[in-house]
Structure 1
Amino acid sequence: MTALTTPNIQLGDYIVIQRQKYTKLQKFGSLDTTATLGKETLELKSLLDHPYGSTFKMCVKETKAGKRGAQRQHTLELCSETELGSTRENLGISSSGADNRDICDNGEAQALKSSDIEQLREACNESSKIIEKLVENSKTFHNRTEYSQEKYLLKKEKKYFEFVQIRQPTIRLMADIFYRQDADKVMGIRVDTLSQIISYSGVCGFGNYLLYESGTNGLLPAAMINAIGADTEGTLVHMHPGNVAQKQALLALKLPFEQQQRCISVNLYSVLREFYQNGTAAVDAVEASPKEEVNEPETDQPDTSTDEQSETTEPSTKKPKLDGETQSNPRTPPRWQLENKRAASLMHAKFDSLVMSAKEHPSSILQALIPLIRPSRPIVIFSTCKELLLETYMELKSTAKVTNLHLTSNWLRMYQILPNRTHPEVNMSGNSGYLLTGYTLQ
């Protein structure tokens, strides 16, 4: 992106705050909004109207004693990239040892005490000056190997680094943030698994696509509507089991209004009733499955499992309560009814692919949704439990509704790529769920 096309940060935007390798998704809701990074609290009001990608310096405003030590409050000051120099170059370090055999880790290498370091941190806000003092008072630093010195400097930079970069949310960034913070909130869907789901589903700018997911913080619908793109004819029907769709990731993308309107979020049970209003056999089949497999929502208790809730309130199979708009004007149907009608019309026309990401057993829901998919179209089912997909695999084999069935496991190994020290990362995730894929038959 050039400077002319880079959008500016506005109130109401979701932003990604990056401090070295750490990233955090934050809503910039008002000028009083603050963000917390460990023991650091950042005031975000100075971000307004600056372009995404800008780098800001953390300037200490106030230090308070908290339960977890000193809590520091910072203001942010715009700075240039030239201030982000290499610590090794800034300190002018040129000497190093041949090996570390004579270094004894007895806790006495640093002459400065903890209280001295805290006073130093309050006196000067620049990390380079703090690290310079730590290096000067280290008895073993210049005897370390160059590799050991770099590890020491990186460790201190991570602790005292005073710069943050504000980035615009993307699918990749949000997938990494959600997975690192709490993988259960996105059903353990890692970014490589997400890319395979999008690839297998064949989502593009033309056609109608059906998605059922039972809680991914809006990551799956956001990824699919993003793959459909802007200024296209594609439409996504997003079915979910709760009263309110999880849309945090979708809202964070800040897509054009017309593109957002092509993602129709509806309650699974109410839209099936709308579709089969002259015969409810398919709905009854879904509802007849065990309670622990299909979590039918309660109208009186909205889904609050996500940080952001949609303004669209949708019903369960029980009689919905009228909202304030409907009470004041009985002739105006609530929004969820209009969305149900839009979705039902697309269901009659049928879809070009089916994607499912279910916490419950996918079998009964799949049997209700497969008739809505055109022949020779892909289906993709994600689950964290292999046994559930094995049972679904055997059921589809026996009914001959889907061909070319494959059950795969996703495994990803991350590597550290550095000069003379390339190796797999010490801490990494293993399995990221299972995918069942196939193509529908006539």
Structure 2
Amino acid sequence: MPEEKDEIYDGCTVVVQRGTYMKTCRVLQGRTYAFGKRGDGQFTLNIDGALGCPFGSSFRMERMSNKLFSIHKTEELNTCLDIVKEGGEDNRDLQDDGRSQKLTPEEIIQLKGSGLTGKEVIQTITENSTTFKDKTVFSKEKYVNKKQKKYGEIITIHRPSIRLLSNMYYTLDPLKIANLRVDTLSQLLCHVNVQPGGSFAVFESGTQGLVTAAMLHRMGTIGHLVQVYHGNHPQRDAVDLMNFTTKELETLSFINFTKLPDITPQEEFATNGTDEVKELTAEQADKELIAEDTHCETKEMKADTTEIIEKPSSDTKSMKKEFTRPQKFVRKQEEDIRMSSTVLQGNVEGLVVACRQYPNNILRDLLHYLKPGHPFVVFSPYKEPLMELFMEVKSQNGTNVHLSETWLRHYQVLPQRTHPDINMSGGGGYLLYGTRIIKD
């Protein structure tokens, strides 16, 4: 793996966390970014103070104007738990009728805009609660921690990782990644045996490029990963957020589903083709590319693009300037197709299909490029198509086929109150995995 920078630098992508809320942004000096939900909960943040600080550092937000904040590095992480001094014996007499808080929502919003610190706002809210003094110490701490996630002034800036991105996507909207939960993603990588030095193929649609990013991260700079896609351009949102180096991106190539190379019966049963066969196929793919109209795709896959700031404040619009993103595509489209065709014709060592649409035809077409005796994995948010695919693959060209769903539940681990979390996710999708064989 190439050496990663340990400090936050201009142009890098980071994950900004405030309580349980997380959002990605590219650090650009002089830019401001909008965080939170639209309305009274939204605020604008300038993160120039993070430049040069190590990833994982915590910062205190300081108000510059009504909703504009700057950040300054801090080592003191006040948890506001010193508000809790003593408590009642139990909560049996407390009633959650919604009338225990004397302050109205409008008055709380005025407190936030009056210049009070987050701790002072929480202190005022607890003082105006008629039931807070009667709660047990555990209940008080839980109440304060909940308010701190909403009104706290401490943020943490992380280096993007597959786990952070997966949790962020799943928390914001699981449907955007087809309910692909982090435990399902980890099992997918294990079943297909992703490792450096191998050659793998992935078809991904509807999961924001999370599977491709996870496979590329495991492979490092050695091996080949071919992403097959439908439409004008591949899904690679998560790939762009991972700060991959050019050396790492050279491992990844793209090919449209309509330009997959043909495989003759002799090539399908061979594990390695000769160099002459590979070169001939590459020339044929190149001729087909020139003959077809690829204006839309070429336009989409240009390397240099400009980034617009997410939410500039009115006083910084005049400072807005163009920023050239790091190179996204390290090869021209023709070179990508040539390289992908060569890898696929040499047969890959692992195949992954992750999509929200019907996966049966996709797997049937791509399974020819998988070496016999090597694994394949299909992810779907629905079990019905995988049940049908299970019988088809098992009867034709698959063995050791399994259809699985994982059950995940988080646990709270605290002194005298370790127990499963009350709320848990409804599901993380389904996996169909097995090994390809060739029947006589």
- Distance, in Å, in 2 between the alignment partners of 1:406 and 1:197 is 12
Q: Does 1:80 align with 2:71?
A: no
- Distance, in Å, in 1 between the alignment partners of 2:45 and 2:418 is 35
Q: Does 1:237 align with 2:226?
A: yes
Q: Contact 1:35/1:44 (CA < 8 Å) preserved in 2?
A: no
How far residue 52 of structure 1 moved from its aligned partner, in angstroms, is: 1.6
* Match of residue 47, structure 1, among 39, 50, 62: 50
* Counterpart secondary structure, 1:213: strand
Structure 1 unmatched runs, 5+: 64-71, 277-297, 314-333
- Distance, in Å, in 2 between the alignment partners of 1:385 and 1:27 is 34
2:14 is matched with 15
1:212 is matched with 203
- Distance, in Å, in 2 between the alignment partners of 1:215 and 1:48 is 34
- Distance, in Å, in 1 between the alignment partners of 2:94 and 2:385 is 55
Deviation per CA, 1:310-339, whole angstroms, max 9, x where unpaired?
Answer: 5379xxxxxxxxxxxxxxxxxxxx922211
How far residue 152 of structure 1 moved from its aligned partner, in angstroms, is: 2.3
* TM-score after normalising by structure 1: 0.77
Judged with a 3 Å threshold, the aligned counterparts in structure 2 of structure 1 residues 143 and 218 are, in CA distance, closer, same or farther, namely: same
How far residue 421 of structure 1 moved from its aligned partner, in angstroms, is: 2.8
- Distance, in Å, in 1 between the alignment partners of 2:7 and 2:70 is 19
- Distance, in Å, in 2 between the alignment partners of 1:421 and 1:153 is 17
2:321 is matched with none
- Distance, in Å, in 2 between the alignment partners of 1:206 and 1:302 is 29
2:218 is matched with 227
* Counterpart secondary structure, 1:431: coil
Higher relative contact order (CA 8 A, sep 6+): 2
Judged with a 3 Å threshold, the aligned counterparts in structure 2 of structure 1 residues 407 and 134 are, in CA distance, closer, same or farther, namely: closer
Identity %: 34
* Counterpart secondary structure, 2:367: helix
2:245 is matched with 256
Q: Does 1:407 align with 2:403?
A: yes
CA RMSD of aligned residues (A): 2.9
Judged with a 3 Å threshold, the aligned counterparts in structure 2 of structure 1 residues 208 and 141 are, in CA distance, closer, same or farther, namely: same
How far residue 391 of structure 1 moved from its aligned partner, in angstroms, is: 1.7
Q: Contact 2:301/2:333 (CA < 8 Å) preserved in 1?
A: no
Paired amino acid for 2:61: M
* TM-score after normalising by structure 2: 0.78
Q: Which moved more, 1:413-422 or 1:430-439?
A: 413-422
1:145 is matched with 136
Q: Contact 1:208/1:351 (CA < 8 Å) preserved in 2?
A: yes
Deviation per CA, 1:67-123, whole angstroms, max 9, x where unpaired?
Answer: xxxxx22222x23222x133223x4x4322112345566666555566654554344
Q: Contact 1:124/1:130 (CA < 8 Å) preserved in 2?
A: no
- Distance, in Å, in 1 between the alignment partners of 2:355 and 2:106 is 52
Q: Contact 1:13/1:27 (CA < 8 Å) preserved in 2?
A: yes
* Match of residue 421, structure 1, among 410, 417, 420: 417
* Counterpart secondary structure, 1:180: helix
Q: Which moved more, 1:353-362 or 1:37-46?
A: 37-46
* Match of residue 394, structure 1, among 391, 403, 427: 391
Q: Does 1:359 align with 2:349?
A: no
Structure 2 matches for 1:292-371, cutoff 5 A? 311=302, 335-371=332-368
Judged with a 3 Å threshold, the aligned counterparts in structure 2 of structure 1 residues 247 and 108 are, in CA distance, closer, same or farther, namely: closer
* Counterpart secondary structure, 1:244: coil
Q: Does 1:430 align with 2:412?
A: no
1:294 is matched with none
How far residue 139 of structure 1 moved from its aligned partner, in angstroms, is: 4.4
Judged with a 3 Å threshold, the aligned counterparts in structure 2 of structure 1 residues 303 and 386 are, in CA distance, closer, same or farther, namely: farther
How many corresponding residue pairs?
379
Q: Does 1:383 align with 2:377?
A: no
* Counterpart secondary structure, 2:435: strand
* Counterpart secondary structure, 2:260: helix
How far residue 222 of structure 1 moved from its aligned partner, in angstroms, is: 0.4
Q: Does 1:28 align with 2:31?
A: no
Judged with a 3 Å threshold, the aligned counterparts in structure 2 of structure 1 residues 183 and 301 are, in CA distance, closer, same or farther, namely: farther
2:145 is matched with 154
